Structure 1
Amino acid sequence: MDTRQMAWFVALGETLHFGRAAERVHMSQPAFSRRIAELERDLGARLVERDSRNVSLTPAGARFLFDAREVLARFEAACRDARLVALGEKGELRLGFMMHAAHRLVPRLAGLYAERRPAVRLILEETTPAEIEVRMRRGELDAAVTFLGRPDPALEALPLLRDRLRLAAPEGHPLAGRERIRPADLAGEALIAAPASTAAPLREAIEGWCAGLSTPPRFAYEPRLQQTILRLVAAGLGVALVPGSICDDRIPGVASVALEAAPQLDVVLLVARAGANPAVAPLVELAADFRGG
């Protein structure tokens, strides 16, 4: 049995007339009558009562009509959804992002994407830059917002914006009132930063900016998350060099100060070059809009 047989019977059940039903499905009446008889034999149940004037449904026929309509509606919906998913207009998109992007970039990106693809379920997964790279290679994420790292032939990095590092210092700290901070100002300071195993581009930028100091700052604490770093700064346990994007909001107990010749970090949209999810395409288009804007 297939959906064609169901469609033939639905035509008969709705018209209760073999001639009109046959015409609806573009079949001759004798051929149509044979198909209905074959359906009844396959089911082992009589579906219609007929005489020279009238056609009526048996109880089994009425039930089969109800169920067949439901099955056909689901089948049509399945076909429609398959086409929409293939076009990237429905389905799911798993977007990973680092915490630095959560303040302004990801909310804006998610909002614009939802406008373009309202039927696509956008699954947002916050994690670290190092984990993003691993999960992208495994195919566990369709795309990700992260720092530009080392080239990977399987992944394409599309520029989104450029972030500058700033100093985060406890309020009342001698450096908190400065207009601009030079590397020499950090000599001997307790520095709080994520380890290279969590965010290699960020750690390299921090170490590079401090590289010329005769007395380099010591890394007193190395938490993985920037939010934890800011809390430690607020508690007076040290200072930190953090992306300016996470300093947009006022952080209680923390002052943000510009750096002289501040290191810049490229924030990118990472996608698989051989990605199979068509819902990624509109996200790639948005990345181009970000670059243009």
Structure 2
Amino acid sequence: MELRHFRCFIAVAETLHFGRAAERLAMSQPPLTVAIQQLEQRLGTRLFERNSKGVRLTAAGQAMLEDARRVLGQFEQALVHARDAAEGISGHVRIGCVGAMLYRGLPQALASYQHDFPAVRVTVSELNSQIQVTQLLRDELDVGFVHTARLPKGMQRQLVVSEPFICCLPADHALAAQPRIPLSTLADEPFVLFARSVSPDYHAAILDVCAQAGFSPRLQHEVRHWLAVVAWVAQGLGVALVPKAMSQSGVPGVVFRPIDNAVAMSESYVIWREDGATPVAGHCVEHLKQFFNEHKRATVSQT
């Protein structure tokens, strides 16, 4: 039994006329009659009563009609899904991101992508940079947003955000009223740092910028997320250097101040595998890259 048998059956059942059904299917009547006979032989029962008054469905034919329509409809839908998946406009994209991307345009980028491609299912997992790299290599993620530019062979990256580190202080700190913070004034302060094990690049960048100011930070606490860094500072447990985007976090009890003569930049990259990406994942990467490129151009034009 083939799908053509269902098409022939449905056409005859809806027209109750072999000639008109053949015209609808753009075929001659004899092959249509043969197809119906083959279907009836396969089922072992008649689907149509034919007499001088015309054609009508038997009880078996009536019972089969809705099922035949459903099967044919599912097949046609499967063809549409397959074409859409091949063109990258439907399917599933698995995205990983570091927490700071919440404040670096990723929600807006994903909203833009979902608006343009509503048939794509997007799932997002918050993961540190190293875990994202591992999961991309294992084909457990399609796209990542990370803090590191150091990637293994077979992976590509594009810079999406570059912004300065700023100082995060408890709201009641003695330096909180100053518009800018000379970094050297924090030499004796306890620091809350991003854990080296989670993001060695960020950990090293903060140590380097402090070294340029002539001191080694007094490490008091190491945490795994930028929001946790800000939250610990809000509790009066230290000071921190954080990406500028974290000033949008809305955590109460802290203030954010620019650092005098700061040269270190906080950077985020979109990363993906060179090969093995599905069409929908590759299409998503291109859309996200374009979104962040346009966002950077808009930001530059405003400054």
Corresponding residue number in structure 1 for 2:171: 171
User: Aligned equivalents of 2:41 and 2:250: distance in 1?
Assistant: 76
Alpha carbon RMSD of aligned pairs, Å? 1.9
User: Aligned equivalents of 2:166 and 2:75: distance in 1?
Assistant: 57
C-alpha change, 1:250 and 1:46, in structure 2 (3 Å) is: closer
Give the 3-state SS of the residue equivalent to 2:162 in structure 1.
Answer: strand
Corresponding residue number in structure 2 for 1:155: 155
- After TM superposition, give the deviation of residue 206 of structure 1 in Å: 0.2
Is this contact kept in 2: 1:130–1:200, CA < 8 A? no
Count of residue pairs brought into register by the alignment: 293
Report matched runs for 1:192-203 at 5 Å.
192-203=192-203
Report matched runs for 1:10-159 at 5 Å.
10-159=10-159
Give the 3-state SS of the residue equivalent to 1:85 in structure 2.
Answer: helix
State the Cα deviation string for residues 57-114 of structure 1 (Å, max 9, x = none): 1111111111111111111111111111221222222221111111241121112112
Q: Percent identity?
A: 33
User: Aligned equivalents of 1:55 and 1:250: distance in 2?
Assistant: 73
Give the 3-state SS of the residue equivalent to 1:34 in structure 2.
Answer: helix
Corresponding residue number in structure 2 for 1:288: 293
Give the 3-state SS of the residue equivalent to 2:118 in structure 1.
Answer: coil
Could you list the runs of 5+ residues in structure 2 that have no partner in the other structure? Answer: 299-303
Is this contact kept in 1: 2:160–2:289, CA < 8 A? no
C-alpha change, 1:30 and 1:215, in structure 2 (3 Å) is: closer
Could you list the runs of 5+ residues in structure 1 that have no partner in the other structure? Answer: none
Paired amino acid for 2:278: A
Paired amino acid for 2:269: V
| Residue 7 (str. 1) matches residue 7 (str. 2) | yes
Is this contact kept in 1: 2:190–2:238, CA < 8 A? yes
- After TM superposition, give the deviation of residue 249 of structure 1 in Å: 4.4
User: Aligned equivalents of 1:235 and 1:111: distance in 2?
Assistant: 34
User: Aligned equivalents of 2:259 and 2:73: distance in 1?
Assistant: 63
State the Cα deviation string for residues 268-292 of structure 1 (Å, max 9, x = none): 2212222224242323332332343
Give the 3-state SS of the residue equivalent to 1:246 in structure 2.
Answer: helix
Paired amino acid for 1:192: V
Give the 3-state SS of the residue equivalent to 1:69 in structure 2.
Answer: helix
Corresponding residue number in structure 2 for 1:236: 236
